[in-house]
Amino acid sequence: MKEEVIINYLQRHGLEAKTGDTILVERKTRNRKWYATLLGKNETEKIYLNFAEREFVILPIEKDSMTPIEGDYAQVPLTEVKSIYFKKQSNFYNLLIQYNDATATDDRIKKYKVPKEVADCSWHKENLERLIERFGFKESK
C-alpha cells in the first residue's frame, strides 16, 4: 500500500492531508480471558491514523487489500484531545490517546498497538519516527 492512496482518500473527502502523518495501528475489538492474550487470540482490527495539524482521522481498512473503506472514517479535532503519547514495548509501541475529561477507567483513553515496521507499508517506519518526535514518549509506571 502506498501512502499516496491514503492521502488521495483524505483529500477526496475534504480532510487535511499531507505525506508523513499516517501510520498503521491495531486496536482490540474484543477482550477475552488473560490466557487468550498470551496465545494471541484477542480479536484486533488494523486501521490507519492520520495526524494533521488540527485533527486526526481514523481510517478503518479492508483486511485483504489494506485500503481505506470508502466513506468510513472518523475525524477528531485535536482540541478534544488532552494528550497523545507513545510507550515503548519490546517489539512494538503503544500509542495512547486521552480525550479531555477522561478518567483512568473510561473508554475515552484509546490504546493502539503500533508495529515498528510494516512490510507492505515502507513509509510507516519513517512516519512513525516523525510522530514519536512530535508527540513523545511516556515511561511505563
Q: Write down the pLDDT at residue 31.
A: 61
**Is position 12 within any domain?**
yes
CA 22/CA 10 separation, integer angstroms? 11
For the whole model, what pTM was predicted?
A: 0.86
**Is position 141 within any domain?**
no
Strands (DSSP E) along 3-125, which ranges? 22-30, 43-51, 55-60, 74-77, 81-88, 92-99, 109-115
Domain of 88: which CATH number?
Answer: 2.30.29.30
Q: Containing domain of residue 66, as a range?
A: 3-135
**Is position 92 within any domain?**
yes
Segment 19-74, tens digit of pLDDT: 999 999 999 776 655 555 556 566 789 999 999 999 999 999 998 888 999 999 99
> Based on the structure, what is the number of domains in the chain?
1
